[in-house]
Structure 1
Amino acid sequence: MIGVRGSDRILTLEQYTTQYLKQAQKGDDGAREIILSEAKSFIQKTAVNFCARPLEWGLDDELSIALMAFNEAIDRYQDNRNIPFLGFARLVIKSRLSDHFRKEARHKHQPLEYQTADNSTIQLETEQAWENYLREAEARERQEEVVEFQRELSQYGISVSDLVEASPKHKDARENLIAVAKQVVDRPDLIEQLIRTKRLPIKELDQICGLHRKTLEKGRRYIIAMALLLHYKERFIYLYSYLRLTGWSCGEEGSNCG
Structure 2
Amino acid sequence: MESISERINLAKKDKYELNKLIEDYMPFIKKAVSETQVFGIDYDDKLSIAMLVFMNCIKQYSTSKGEFFAFTSVCIKNRLIDELRKESKHMNVTPLYPEEEQEPQSVEASASIIRYDKDKERQSLVEEIFLLKETLVDFGIDFATLEDISPKQKRSRILCMKMAQEICSDEKLKESFIRTKQVPQGELVRRLDISEKSIEKYRRFVVTLAIIIIGDYSGIKAFLPFDGTGKEAK
Do the two structures share a fold, i.e. TM-score over 0.5? Answer: yes
- Whether 1:60 aligns to 2:83 is yes
* DSSP 3-state at the match of 2:179: helix
Q: Match of 1:242, as an amino acid?
A: F
TM-score (norm 1): 0.52
Greater helix content: 2
Change (3 A) 1:201 1:168: same
Provide the C-alpha distance between the structure 1 equivalents of 2:211 and 2:100, rounded to a whole number of angstroms. 29
- Whether 1:69 aligns to 2:98 is yes
Provide the C-alpha distance between the structure 1 equivalents of 2:177 and 2:34, rounded to a whole number of angstroms. 23
Contact 2:161 2:230 in 1 (8 A): no
Shift of 1:204: 2.3
Work out which of the residue numbers 152, 157, 160 in structure 2 matches 1:174. 157
- Written as runs of structure 1 = structure 2, the 5 A alignment for 1:25-174 is 46-47=35-36, 52=50, 53=53, 55=78, 59-61=82-84, 68-70=97-99, 125-174=108-157
Contact 2:158 2:230 in 1 (8 A): no
Provide the C-alpha distance between the structure 2 equivalents of 1:185 and 1:67, rounded to a whole number of angstroms. 35
Q: CA RMSD in A?
A: 3.8
Provide the C-alpha distance between the structure 2 equivalents of 1:159 and 1:198, rounded to a whole number of angstroms. 14
Work out which of the residue numbers 204, 216, 220 in structure 2 matches 1:239. 220
Provide the C-alpha distance between the structure 1 equivalents of 2:190 and 2:168, rounded to a whole number of angstroms. 16
Provide the C-alpha distance between the structure 2 equivalents of 1:166 and 1:239, rounded to a whole number of angstroms. 17
The number of equivalent residue pairs is 159
* DSSP 3-state at the match of 1:208: helix
* Same amino acid, percent of matched pairs: 23
Change (3 A) 1:44 1:145: closer
Provide the C-alpha distance between the structure 1 equivalents of 2:141 and 2:169, rounded to a whole number of angstroms. 22
> Bigger relative contact order, structure 1 or 2, given CA contacts below 8 A and separation 6+?
2
Provide the C-alpha distance between the structure 1 equivalents of 2:117 and 2:205, rounded to a whole number of angstroms. 32
Provide the C-alpha distance between the structure 1 equivalents of 2:126 and 2:95, rounded to a whole number of angstroms. 23
Provide the C-alpha distance between the structure 1 equivalents of 2:209 and 2:121, rounded to a whole number of angstroms. 23
Gaps of 5+ in 2: 1-31, 38-45, 54-75, 89-93
* DSSP 3-state at the match of 1:242: coil
Q: Any runs of at least 4 consecutive aligned residues in structure 1 with deviations exceeding 6 A, and if so which?
A: 62-67
Gaps of 5+ in 1: 1-42, 77-123
* DSSP 3-state at the match of 1:68: coil
Change (3 A) 1:45 1:216: farther
Provide the C-alpha distance between the structure 1 equivalents of 2:114 and 2:202, rounded to a whole number of angstroms. 41
Provide the C-alpha distance between the structure 1 equivalents of 2:123 and 2:101, rounded to a whole number of angstroms. 22
* DSSP 3-state at the match of 2:97: helix
Shift of 1:139: 1.3
* DSSP 3-state at the match of 2:36: helix
Question: Which residue number corresponds to residue 3 of structure 1?
Answer: none
